[in-house]
Amino acid sequence: MTTVTNLQAVDRSGNNENPTTHFFNNFFQPDFTISQNIDDVILGFFEQISDNREAAKILASSVVYTSLATGIDPMETLEKFRSMSTNELNIYVTTFLNLNRTGTSFLGITNRPQVSRYVQRMIRP
């Protein structure tokens, strides 16, 4: 019987080519640095949108980190964000931040795997 899952198969042979660092891929990456001017511009953009300085700091640092980790210039990302409406921006930022995450921990997306019909019939409504 096949099961639908977003987890990879476990290699029990001892020849593990996928060490645990695969699941903690953001933890072991080197630190990125950007100029203070770029940081201030991106932070200011998110402060205008969110009206909350702490939320803006977290969003700005996440966007900068994701941009640099994927090889995109943070200012190019900001220019793309500026050209969007608020509704488009919410969807795009969610998708953009998920670019650098493992499939088991997407942000803002409901993941409902298919349930086997045999299991489903055993669950009471």
Q: What is the tens place of the pLDDT at every residue in 10-64?
A: 555 655 555 555 556 556 566 778 889 999 999 999 999 888 899 999 999 989 9
Task: Assess if residue 72 is contained within a domain.
Answer: yes
Cβ atoms of 111 and 74 closer than 8 Å:
no
- Residue 18's pLDDT is 55
What residues have CB less than 8 Å from 45, skipping those under 6 apart?
A: 60, 78, 81, 82
Task: Assess if residue 63 is contained within a domain.
Answer: yes
Task: Assess if residue 51 is contained within a domain.
Answer: yes
pLDDT for 72-102, tens place per residue? Answer: 999 999 999 999 988 889 888 888 888 877 6
Rounded-to-integer distance, Cα 57 and Cα 39, Å: 9
Number of domains making up the chain: 1
Cβ atoms of 86 and 53 closer than 8 Å:
no
Where in the sequence is the domain holding 84, given as residue range(s)?
Answer: 34-101
Task: Assess if residue 76 is contained within a domain.
Answer: yes
